[in-house]
Structure 1
Amino acid sequence: MNKTLAIFCVSILPISCDFFEPKPPENPIARVNKSYLYQKDIADLISKNTSPEDSASIVSNYITRWATQQLLIDQAQINLSPKKIEAYERLVTDYKNDLFTEAYKATIVGKQMDSTITNAEYESFYAANKHNFKLKEELYKLRFIHVDKEFANFVETKQKLNRFNTKDKEDLVKMRLKFKAANFNDSVWIKKEALLLQLPVLQINQDKFLKKQIFAQIQDSLGVYLLKIEDVLVPGDMAPLTTIKPTIEQILLNKKKLQLVKKLEKDITKDAIKNKNFEIYTLQ
């Protein structure tokens, strides 16, 4: 009989349990022992487009999960030792304190931090730490042209790409629309994986063509490729600054954040002492 009454009180409290418990300040939708679930607690569960049937199911499931959790919590309070309960409550308090303090520090740092990093800062950090940035894959500086097999002025174009003085570059840029594909920016490092995706024809004879200062002419069913490799870096070489700038940026931004956090912690403690809001008493 007692078990039946307990279940009855949890499931249809608004009708049957008011006689046994004083009414809470606002109308609840469920109760488990001394814990109440209110309308405001489920206000955000249902969107405007949810059907009445789905809404009822969502609310019902939520109430059941809430009741189960409350019952487990109540049983934990009864069956766990006081020492364990105290330890868990301390963890909860510490976690809550960490959430609030970290959120506040993040807000202040976000308002005060200058996220701009100058080239001088990049270069200074790179010079002091470049030995820590070793490549794990090949990098290439290159230029190339992909043309049809019947492309006119092929010999002249080949000479311009190989020689590549200022006039040659200007001429090739003007001709760009005549090429099937081209890259003239040979000052940028390209990863081997990206290069092979862009020029699959190189996958067959990588050792032959992917060498420093090589000029190659390669042909397949899609046309003719003219390729000039200007420079190559291999695994174990120091990574160029341009390739690790995003990593350095994050490191420098994190350092700025830490400096601001330390200053914030120092200033807030200093102000509290000055305003007599923080005192340390002598132990008796």
Structure 2
Amino acid sequence: MRIPGFLNRIVPGAIALLMLTYSCKDLNKGSEDISIARVNSKYLYLSDVAGIVPAGTSSADSIEISKRFIESWIKKQVFLDHAEKNLSVDLKTFDKKIEDYRNSLILFAFESEYVRTNLDTLVSEQQVQAYYEKNQGDFRLKDNIVKVSYVKVVPDAPQQEIIRKLIKSTEAADVQALEEYGSQHAVNYFIGGEYWILFNDLLREVPIQSNNYDQFIRTTKYYEMKDENFKYFLVIHDFRTKENISPISFEKENIKSIILNQRRHEMINKLHNDLYKEAVSKGSFEIFK
């Protein structure tokens, strides 16, 4: 549907003149708003259009933007009017759903802001430890995890014998030397004896060739392989297989999130109860019998 012919004639003169005559500032000061379009009983006002044109826009572009906005508004109102007249759902029920949805949005926005400004987001190591010890059964691994170090290089990378020596060592000087080698010569590397990672994430970097990954993890300390493009050096420092209890260091951030969610829930419940008690004490409501 194109904008009606009469609007093509009116918009360039009327809207442009009105937008020059009545600025947004004027309207905000309480100037009488001016209707510029109508669909049955619904009106579009100048204040609805005044803010859509960016500052510095030419007169011709301003008129075109205004025309497109008005056309879009008319299409939407015509469609809404048609939908309301032909909607099979009971409008009273529909209105209630809209009101319920609006109330839900208001409550969600208020609760989110209240939590943002009032929630204590500091979770101590002691709190994490206490929660973990109390709920260990909830932290069973769904996947294998490992602590590893690996170096990925091109096949002709220099001093590969150095990698074999350093990657097996836990001495601080050797770890530092391996870091330096990796930064200079490796395509990718990870020196992570302190960090748990998912074994599946490791496979994306090191294409381990095995028919039984569980057995591989349990029996392999050092692994070296080569494919068409790269050579890989891997040491498995530690492992946990799925279905076993997950280590606390792997679950720390998850536990912090759980504790914070519990605090949010308790805070909102307390707020609701406090407001209810306040309403009772003030006699703000009554139940008719």
**Fold match (TM-score > 0.5):** yes
| Alignment partner of 1:256 is 2:263 | yes
Task: Report what 2:134 is aligned to.
Answer: 128
- What is the 5 A alignment of 1:72-221? 72-75=79-82, 84-144=90-150, 151=159, 154=162, 158=164, 161-162=167-168, 164=170, 168-174=171-177, 176-179=179-182, 180-181=185-186, 183-198=190-205, 200=206, 202-205=207-210, 210-212=216-218, 214-216=220-222, 218=224, 220=226
Preserved contact between residue 223 and residue 235 of structure 2 (Cα < 8 Å): no
* Structure 2 counterpart of 1:109, one-letter code: V
Cα RMSD (Å) of the superposition? 3.9
- What is the 5 A alignment of 1:27-66? 27-48=34-55, 55-66=62-73
| Alignment partner of 1:280 is 2:286 | yes
CA distance in 2: counterparts of 1:75 and 1:226, whole angstroms: 69
Q: Deviations over 1:137-184 (max 9, x none)?
A: 322112345686762974xx75565353xxx33244146424534544
Preserved contact between residue 141 and residue 188 of structure 1 (Cα < 8 Å): yes
| Alignment partner of 1:239 is 2:246 | yes
Unaligned 5+ runs, structure 1: 1-5, 16-24
- 1:111 to partner: Cα distance: 1.1
Preserved contact between residue 161 and residue 228 of structure 1 (Cα < 8 Å): yes
- 1:261 to partner: Cα distance: 0.9
CA distance in 2: counterparts of 1:216 and 1:279, whole angstroms: 73
Distance 1:268 1:54, change over 3 A: same
Unaligned 5+ runs, structure 2: 15-31
- Normalised TM-score (structure 2): 0.70
SS in 2 for 1:134: coil
Preserved contact between residue 217 and residue 226 of structure 1 (Cα < 8 Å): yes
* Structure 1 counterpart of 2:244, one-letter code: D
More divergent stretch after superposition (70-79 vs 101-110): 70-79
CA distance in 1: counterparts of 2:45 and 2:223, whole angstroms: 76
- 1:30 to partner: Cα distance: 0.5
More divergent stretch after superposition (244-253 vs 257-266): 244-253
CA distance in 2: counterparts of 1:67 and 1:152, whole angstroms: 72
Preserved contact between residue 166 and residue 178 of structure 2 (Cα < 8 Å): no
More divergent stretch after superposition (129-138 vs 86-95): 129-138
CA distance in 2: counterparts of 1:54 and 1:210, whole angstroms: 68
SS in 1 for 2:264: helix
CA distance in 2: counterparts of 1:74 and 1:151, whole angstroms: 77
CA distance in 2: counterparts of 1:246 and 1:138, whole angstroms: 18
* Structure 1 counterpart of 2:267, one-letter code: L
Q: Deviations over 1:105-156 (max 9, x none)?
A: 22222111111112222223323333333333322112345686762974xx
Task: Report what 1:22 is aligned to.
Answer: none
Preserved contact between residue 145 and residue 198 of structure 2 (Cα < 8 Å): yes
Q: Deviations over 1:220-241 (max 9, x none)?
A: 4878755331222233333333
- Normalised TM-score (structure 1): 0.71
Total equivalences in the alignment: 260
* Structure 2 counterpart of 1:173, one-letter code: Q
